[in-house]
Amino acid sequence: MKEEKGQTAPAEGKLGILLPGMGAVATTLIAGVLAVRKGVAQPIGSLAQMGNIRIGKRTANNYPKIKDFVPLANLEDIEFGGWDVYEDNVYQAAVKAGVLEDKLLQTVRPELEALVPMKAAFDKHYVKNLDGTHVKTYTTKYDLAEQVIDDIRTFKATRDCSRLVMVWCGSTEIYHELSDIHRTLAGFEEGLHNNAPNIAPSMIYAYAALKEGVPFVNGAPNLTVDVPALLELAAVTGTPVAGKDFKTGQTLMKTIVAPGISARALGVKGWFSTNILGNRDGLVLDDPDNFRTKEVSKLSVLEDIFHPETNPELYGDMYHKVRINYYPPAGDNKESWDNIDIFGWLGYPMQIKINFLCRDSILAAPLVLDLALFMDLAKRAGMSGIQEWLSFYLKSPQTEPGLRPEHDIFKQLVTLHNTLRHIMGEDPLTDAAPDDYQDAREAF
């Protein structure tokens, strides 16, 4: 954090939110924000809009709304844009996604119909189960990146935005690991010119955004901006980045329940997680290469919460298995079932079974909104590079090299709150030198 306290620039003018991938999540976000503006719905699930933050001592009883505490962009001042491999306008795409009911969509239909995606930067190699038709043609990937940069500039000018953020809402790309081409900005740009196969479409978007100083969030588990080359670019242009993978559904539940088990020093013998989902996301993940990317993201969670290396008696033999199943009858109503084999006093076994009947896009949409608003705040506060304080929203939080990500959602929340307090020049909650119990309790 390079900012001086209280020196955050105000949220003047309009904020453009650019979304590569305008499927279920993006259309649910856009229709929702428009409906909220019209007063026909509420932005439930958005901490930035609905949540409170405690300021000062407990006895001060001061819990302002976060949106009243920090200078976030107002929902009235948001413009949406994006890219997709299908040419449907946002109303059509929302109907196909089948997340929101017709009644609500009708209240904002004209606005949604007016929003048409730009042609996507697409490469079928990275998403085998999709057939994109509304895609850019290009000679080199560098040329492709320049087209995206042009899109960004045009959007900003025509929509009269003072600031932009970009949030990847596209599908999960196939698994690939860091390779040499991703190590330096110079090497990466050479790769763009040479059409290096290891440069995925999501990287093109990230490159374009960072080049323009537009904060970039990666909502999928792809490598994308989690490579030295693009972090180098973020540093050069002083741009915030965050990733990876919106924390919704089963993993959300996991990072809630696992800290609870750990708090009580209960052991875990096994954790079996299965998912059924039927939307486009599920179709993409039906391909083993794309699933691999997701699996790596989902598996890391427990180890980082349980610390088996310091608690081998409790977590040293934990068996963790994650399955995702494409099951069309579920539609967007993702459902998870977890069986957790724990053990307690003297090693006696017990079980927890959790069935979460959730809705993928309903859980994800407010995360996109919050991430966009907070990234814009970070930019105005002069914070660049990886915004680890937004780990709260992410399944596989991007961290500085060598740092272990924090997955415990309650610790993530404390960090988020304290960062907001810090930005506003408020004292973080301290617990120094309590001289009676009440003060000790003030610790959080």
Q: Is 260 an interacting residue with respect to its own copies (CB under 8 A)?
A: yes
String of contacts with its own copies for each residue 224-253, x by CB under 8 A? ----------------------------xx
- Please pick, from the candidates 7, 42, 194, 237, the single residue that binds its own copies as defined by CB under 8 A: 42
User: How far is it, in rounded angstroms, from Cα 88 to Cα 23?
Assistant: 10
Please name every residue paired with 163 in a beta bridge, in sequence order, or none if there are none.
15
Q: Is 60 an interacting residue with respect to its own copies (CB under 8 A)?
A: no
Half-sphere exposure of 63 (CA within 13 A, CB side): 6
Of 238, 124, 234, 233, nearest in space to 187 by CA = 233
Our CB check for its own copies shows the closer of 213 and 270 to be 270
Site for its own copies, residues 407 to 426, rule: CB under 8 A: 409-411, 413-415, 418-419, 422
Q: Is 154 an interacting residue with respect to its own copies (CB under 8 A)?
A: no
Candidate segments 32-40, 79-87, 148-156, 208-216, binder of its own copies by CB under 8 A: 32-40
Min separation Cβ 303 and its own copies, Å: 15
- Please pick, from the candidates 213, 272, 308, 426, the single residue that binds its own copies as defined by CB under 8 A: 272
The token pair that represents 440 in the structure block: 């000790």
- Please pick, from the candidates 112, 121, 164, 276, the single residue that binds its own copies as defined by CB under 8 A: 276
Q: Is 302 an interacting residue with respect to its own copies (CB under 8 A)?
A: no
SS3 160: coil
Candidate segments 117-125, 182-190, 196-204, 435-443, binder of its own copies by CB under 8 A: 435-443
For the chain, state the CA radius of gyration.
22
Min separation Cβ 269 and its own copies, Å: 5
- 17: enclosing H helix or E strand: strand 14-20
- Please pick, from the candidates 187, 213, 259, 308, the single residue that binds its own copies as defined by CB under 8 A: 259
User: How far is it, in rounded angstroms, from Cα 366 to Cα 46?
Assistant: 5
- Please pick, from the candidates 98, 197, 270, 382, the single residue that binds its own copies as defined by CB under 8 A: 270
The token pair that represents 285 in the structure block: 């993940």
Min separation Cβ 377 and its own copies, Å: 14
The token pair that represents 235 in the structure block: 């540093």
Candidate segments 120-128, 162-170, 291-299, 433-441, binder of its own copies by CB under 8 A: 433-441
Candidate segments 159-167, 205-213, 214-222, 321-329, binder of its own copies by CB under 8 A: 321-329
Q: Kindly give the residue spans of alpha helices, DSSP state H, lying in 175-273.
A: 185-194, 201-211, 228-237, 249-263
| Residues 182 and 229: beta-carbon distance below 8 Å | yes
User: How far is it, in rounded angstroms, from Cα 316 to Cα 178?
Assistant: 29
Site for its own copies, residues 104 to 143, rule: CB under 8 A: 104
Site for its own copies, residues 330 to 389, rule: CB under 8 A: 330, 335, 337, 339, 341, 343-348, 350-359, 361-363, 365-366, 383, 387-389
Compute φ and ψ for 164, nearest 5 degrees: -135, 155
Of 279, 287, 273, 256, nearest in space to 361 by CA = 279
- Please pick, from the candidates 16, 20, 21, 45, the single residue that binds its own copies as defined by CB under 8 A: 45
User: How far is it, in rounded angstroms, from Cα 297 to Cα 222?
Assistant: 9
User: How far is it, in rounded angstroms, from Cα 342 to Cα 166?
Assistant: 41
| Residues 406 and 397: beta-carbon distance below 8 Å | yes
Taking CA atoms, 280 is separated from 131, 283, 320, in Å, by 12, 5, 26
Our CB check for its own copies shows the closer of 9 and 265 to be 265
Q: Is 50 an interacting residue with respect to its own copies (CB under 8 A)?
A: yes
Q: Is 401 an interacting residue with respect to its own copies (CB under 8 A)?
A: no
Site for its own copies, residues 1 to 20, rule: CB under 8 A: 1
